[in-house]
Amino acid sequence: MNPEDKEALSAWIDGESEALEERRLLRDHDARELAQTVARWQVIGEVIRNTPNSSLEPKRRRAQFGSIQQALVQIQTQSPAAENSQVGRAHAHGRQFRWYAVAASLTLVMAIGALMPQDMPSSPIASQSNDQVSAEIAARQPIFVSAGDVSSEDLDELSLNPELRALDEASRAQLRAYLQQHDQLSQLATQQRLVSYPRTASKDQ
Amino acid sequence: MNSEELSDQRLVQRAQQGDNRAFDMLVLKYQSRMANVVSRYIKDHHEIADVTQEAFVKAFRALPNFRGDAQFYTWLYRIAINTAKNFLVAKTRRPPDVDKDIETGEFSDVSGVLEAEDRPDQLLSRDQLQAVVVKALADLPEDIRTALTLREFDGLSYEEIASIMECPVGTVRSRIFRGREAVEKKIEEMG
Asked whether the predicted pLDDT for residue A124 surpasses 60, the reply is no
- CATH of B3-93 given 3.40.50.300, 1.10.1740.10, 1.10.8.420, 1.10.3720.10: 1.10.1740.10
ipTM metric: 0.78
The structural architecture, per CATH, of the domain B115-190 is Orthogonal Bundle (1.10)
Q: Do residue A91 and residue A133 come from a single domain?
A: yes
Q: Do residue A64 and residue A100 come from a single domain?
A: no
- Best residue in B25, B50, B129, B178 for a mutation probing chain A (most A CBs within 10 Å): B25
Determine the 3-state secondary structure of B108 from DSSP: strand
Task: Read off φ and ψ for residue B107, nearest 5 degrees.
Answer: -90, 140
Determine the 3-state secondary structure of A203 from DSSP: helix
Residue-range domain boundaries for chain B: 3-93, 115-190
**Who has greater pLDDT, A55 or B23?**
B23
Name the region of A189 (left: φ>0; alpha: ψ -120 to 50; beta: rest): left
CA B174 to chain centre: 24
Task: Read off φ and ψ for residue B128, nearest 5 degrees.
Answer: -60, -45
- How many degrees, rounded to 5, is the angle at CA B123 between CA A45 and CA B39? 55
CA A82 to chain centre: 20
CA A120 to chain centre: 44
Q: Domain boundary residue among A77, A109, A126?
A: A77
Q: Do residue A24 and residue A98 come from a single domain?
A: no
Of the listed ranges A16-20, A101-105, B94-98, B172-176, the least confidently predicted one is: B94-98
Q: Which of residues 141-180 of B touch A (CB under 8 A)?
A: 148-149, 151-153, 157-158, 173-174, 176-177, 180
* pTM tops 0.90: no
Q: Do residue A50 and residue A113 come from a single domain?
A: no
Across B73-176, where does the E strand assignment appear? 98-100, 107-109
Q: Residue B67 in contact with residue A101, Cβ under 8 Å? A: no
Nearest CB to B48; choose among A55, A65, A163? A55
Of the listed ranges A128-132, A150-154, A160-164, B170-174, the least confidently predicted one is: A150-154
Alpha-helical segments (H) within A49-161: 58-77, 80-115, 124-140, 152-160
Q: Do residue A56 and residue A119 come from a single domain?
A: no
Q: Do residue A106 and residue A118 come from a single domain?
A: yes
Q: Do residue A49 and residue A116 come from a single domain?
A: no
DSSP annotation of B152 reads H
Digitized pLDDT (tens) for each residue of chain B, 191 residues in all: 788 888 899 999 999 998 988 999 999 999 988 998 998 899 888 899 999 999 999 999 999 999 888 899 999 999 999 999 999 998 887 765 544 444 444 444 444 344 444 555 555 577 788 888 899 999 999 999 999 999 999 999 999 999 999 999 999 999 999 999 999 998 888 76
**A8/B25 Cα distance (integer angstroms):** 13
Q: Do residue A40 and residue A91 come from a single domain?
A: no
Q: With CA atoms as reference, report the closest residue to B7 among A32, A21, A38.
A: A21
B98 beta partners? B109
**A174/A24 Cα distance (integer angstroms):** 47
% of chain A with per-residue pLDDT over 90: 10
Q: Domain boundary residue among A77, A94, A129?
A: A77
Cβ <8 Å between A72 and B134: no
Task: Read off φ and ψ for residue B18, nearest 5 degrees.
Answer: 105, 5
Q: Do residue A199 and residue A167 come from a single domain?
A: yes
Domain that holds residue A133: 80-204
> What are the C-alpha distances in Å from A99 to residues A34, A52, A140, A148, A172?
49, 51, 8, 17, 12
Four-residue CA torsion sign, B113, B116, B119, B123: negative
Q: Domain boundary residue among A52, A77, A102?
A: A77
Q: Residue A159 in contact with residue A93, Cβ under 8 Å? A: no
Across chain B, where does the E strand assignment appear? 98-100, 107-109
Q: With CA atoms as reference, report the closest residue to A68 among B52, B66, B76, B33.
A: B52
- Determine the distance in angstroms separating the CA of B7 from the nearest CA of chain A, rounded to an integer: 6
DSSP annotation of A51 reads -
**B141/B135 Cα distance (integer angstroms):** 12
The total domain count for chain A is 2
Q: Is B2 on the interface with A (CB under 8 A)?
A: yes
> What are the C-alpha distances in Å from A100 to residues A34, A97, A123, A147, A203?
49, 5, 27, 12, 18
Cβ <8 Å between B28 and A35: yes
Q: Which of residues 163-182 of A touch B (CB under 8 A)?
A: 163
**B160/B131 Cα distance (integer angstroms):** 29
Q: Is A34 on the interface with B (CB under 8 A)?
A: yes
Determine the 3-state secondary structure of B18 from DSSP: coil
